[in-house]
Amino acid sequence: MPASTTTLTPSGADLISTTLQRVLAGDEQVVGQTTQALLRSGLDPVGVAITFLDPLLVETGRQWQTGHLSVTQEHVITALCTGALDVLAHEPAPGRRKAVSAVVGCAHGERHALGAKIVSLALRQRGWTVTDLGPSATAEEFLDAVRSSTARVVALSVATPQRVPATAALVAQLKDQEPGLYMIVGGRAADPALIPAADLVVGRDLDRALDALEGDEVD
């Protein structure tokens, strides 16, 4: 869900460039090794995801769109970032578990689910219980997940502009069928003007957005 306009320091931009170069040279360990090194440096798992893995994915997508990376290379880097996020998901949360839960995922047809993974990670690190439906989930799957849990929050990630209408329709459908659901939407293609039924549209500052969410949901 973090937006594509993530701002990097020069050293951060250098890290992304160096990592891409090493992966393209055949070093498929570098993403995992850098993830672990950033954790050891004191960054928390969400910080690693937002300042390293998300910008790496954004730059990968940019280079693919401009023809500097092949589809295969883009898929390899995405898979490495997915694996690193899965490792971060096993990092223990620093505080106690809270009595709040959420369902996270992407609307049907949206197959770019890394943003949803980052939000799931961020919520779990805050002590939330999360049901992550991953990419391309139907309205029925979201409704089943909500109704079989105590979740009153649903978070959707939309990365491709073509999937914004489906995401907006899903938000409206879920709020219609489950009144009282708190709907948040984020991702590179999220636009509050195009998803008016959402309660919160996440921009660049994921932490601030989740602080606002917890203020409404937890306090």
Which ranges in 51-113 belong to alpha helices (H)? 54-65, 71-88
Q: Tell me, what's the pLDDT at 216?
A: 61
Q: Measuring CA to CA, how many Å separate 84 from each of 105, 153, 177, 210?
A: 18, 26, 36, 22
Does domain 10-88 fall into CATH 3.10.580.10?
Answer: no
For the chain, the domains span 10-88, 101-217
36: tokens are 């672990």
- Output DSSP code: residue 205: -
**Which tens digits make up the pLDDT trace of 121-167?**
999 999 999 999 999 999 999 999 999 988 999 999 999 999 999 99
Helix/strand/coil for 128:
coil
CATH for the stretch 101-217: 3.40.50.280
